[in-house]
């Protein structure tokens, strides 16, 4: 969902440089017909408000006062809880989206700039000065701090929750953290990296690069980088639920670049002045863009790729992060934690290229995906035997450690996971 971008050239030095004044009134939108969003839309605002603003599906607006400089927001998958990065005070605010009441504030000093939420909503990852806070959302407390080479601007988490990606803009690099072991790899990325989004299957990362007007696509299996030109000063980014298109906000061009994730072909959509961040709703039919310089929000129909509406965000308020909160009639059941995860390999095969993954199937789970080092794999054979679930992996490379994990699913709902390390005999 919402993913932060590079706000200032020295953002962690506590000196804020606001965006320059718009150079023109470019970005006029097509005829406006939509006056209500498809999901609740959440926007962080500072300036005269310093809080979280909501436009509900019936058009009603509400807000909650938080603290100095709320900069990013991410909503839980059931659309009922929002987490807001409080950059100015070094904390994460927890907000009930239905009532728009603050439930708690979690101290996360030093300052937090960007957030990511695990697939099962149980863990929050907060990019901050010097590293990443890991927060238990149930206990509402920090459980771990990952120290990095420099301060990350944005973070993402793999679908199985075992690999953390952090964009280190000051170093022009991407940190890849294996969370179970704490091992950190690094890969070079183009300059001025800001916002990041991960494809739903975990295979690709997409990063905006503000000063060079590019989008990079990074294959997570080997960290290969491809780039494509987008508009002037790309900032916020989001991806459609099917992973087919990435939406990139170009602030100085007052446009959104819609990028085909396979071909990297782009289409341009004009939005409002100073467009800053973007969020796509749960069914992928609408994209919402907050326009920093005109305190408005553009609504894009993703099928026609046209602006079909615009809503005000309140006068004299700087809008930063944006996310959608989509609630169903019933909160879907979570499949639960994978238990008794184990592996079996014929260690007399020499070299071994096949292994079985076995685990106790969680209640309510209808399917599962096996990941190796954060990458989804294909089961040559897959099925259930009473309460036991099995997956046969083939074509493996002997002698190289693999972090194997399983994510159970119930429809589109992902459950918690367990992981184990396996090295096949060479």
CA distance 40 to 59: 9
The distance of Cα 110 from the centroid of its chain, to the nearest Å, equals: 21
Q: What is the token pair recorded at 93?
A: 């605010």
pLDDT of the residue at 22: 40
Mean pLDDT confidence for 300-311: 95
Query: Among residues 246, 146, 152, which one has the least CA distance to residue 193?
Result: 152
Mean pLDDT confidence for 388-414: 88
pLDDT of the residue at 28: 41
25 or 425: whose pLDDT is higher? 425
Per-residue pLDDT reduced to its tens digit, 368-380:
999 998 999 999 9
Mean pLDDT confidence for 270-292: 95
Q: Buried b / exposed e across 228-267, counting CB within 10 Å, b at 16+?
A: bebbebbbbbbbbeebebbbbbbbbbbbbbbbebeeeebe
Mean pLDDT confidence for 243-258: 98
Q: What is the token pair recorded at 224?
A: 């290969």
Rounded to two decimals, what is the model's pTM? 0.88
Q: Buried b / exposed e across 97-121, counting CB within 10 Å, b at 16+?
A: beebebeebbebebbbbbbbbbbbb
From 127-131, 201-205, 216-220, 315-319, the region with the lowest mean pLDDT? 315-319
Q: Count CA atoms closer than 13 A to 408's CA, side-chain side.
A: 27
Per-residue pLDDT reduced to its tens digit, 11-66:
333 333 334 434 333 444 444 567 789 999 999 998 778 999 999 999 999 999 99
Q: What domains does the chain contain, in order, with CATH numbers?
A: 11-325 (2.130.10.10), 339-422 (2.60.40.10)
Query: Among residues 279, 354, 328, 342, which one has the least CA distance to residue 72?
Result: 279
Mean pLDDT confidence for 221-242: 96
- Which residues partner with 255 through β-bridges? 250, 270
How many residues would you count in the chain?
A: 426
pLDDT of the residue at 134: 97
């Amino acid at each position: 969902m919402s993913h932060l971008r590079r706000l200032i050239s020295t953002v962690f030095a506590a000196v804020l440089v606001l965006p320059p004044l718009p150079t023109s009134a470019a970005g006029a939108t097509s005829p406006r017909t939509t006056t209500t969003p498809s999901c609740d839309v959440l926007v962080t605002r500072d300036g005269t408000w310093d809080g979280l603003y909501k436009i509900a599906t019936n058009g009603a607006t509400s807000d909650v006062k938080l603290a100095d400089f709320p900069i990013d927001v991410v909503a839980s998958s059931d659309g009922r809880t929002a987490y807001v990065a409080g950059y100015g005070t070094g904390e994460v605010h927890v907000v009930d989206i239905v009532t728009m009441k603050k439930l708690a504030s979690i101290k996360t000093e030093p300052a937090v700039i960007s957030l990511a939420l695990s697939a099962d909503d149980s863990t929050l990852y907060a990019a901050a000065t010097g590293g990443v806070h890991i927060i238990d959302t149930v206990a509402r407390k920090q459980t771990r701090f990952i120290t990095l080479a420099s301060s990350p601007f944005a973070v993402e988490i793999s679908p199985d929750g075992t690999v953390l990606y952090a964009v280190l803009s000051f170093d022009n690099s991407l940190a890849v953290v294996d969370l179970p072991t704490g091992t950190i790899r690094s890969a070079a990325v183009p300059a001025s990296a800001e916002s990041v989004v991960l494809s739903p299957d975990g295979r690709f990362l997409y990063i905006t690069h503000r000063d060079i007007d590019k989008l990079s696509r990074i294959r997570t299996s080997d960290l290969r980088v491809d780039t494509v030109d987008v508009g002037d000063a790309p900032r916020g980014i989001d991806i459609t639920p099917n992973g087919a298109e990435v939406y990139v906000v170009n602030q100085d061009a007052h446009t959104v670049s819609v990028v085909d994730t396979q071909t990297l072909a782009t289409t341009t959509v004009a939005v409002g002045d100073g467009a800053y961040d973007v969020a796509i709703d749960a069914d992928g039919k609408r994209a919402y863009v907050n326009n920093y310089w005109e305190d408005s929000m553009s609504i894009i129909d993703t099928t026609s790729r046209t602006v079909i509406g615009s809503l005000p965000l309140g006068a004299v308020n700087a809008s930063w992060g944006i996310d959608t909160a989509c609630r169903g009639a019933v909160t879907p059941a979570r499949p639960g934690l994978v238990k008794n995860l184990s592996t079996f390999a014929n260690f007399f095969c020499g070299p071994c290229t096949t292994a079985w993954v076995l685990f106790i199937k969680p209640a309510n789970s209808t399917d599962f995906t096996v990941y190796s080092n954060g990458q989804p794999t294909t089961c040559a054979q897959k099925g259930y035997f009473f309460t036991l679930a099995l997956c046969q992996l083939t074509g493996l490379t002997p002698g190289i450690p693999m972090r194997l994990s399983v994510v159970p699913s119930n429809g589109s709902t992902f459950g918690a996971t367990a992981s184990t390390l396996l090295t096949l005999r060479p």
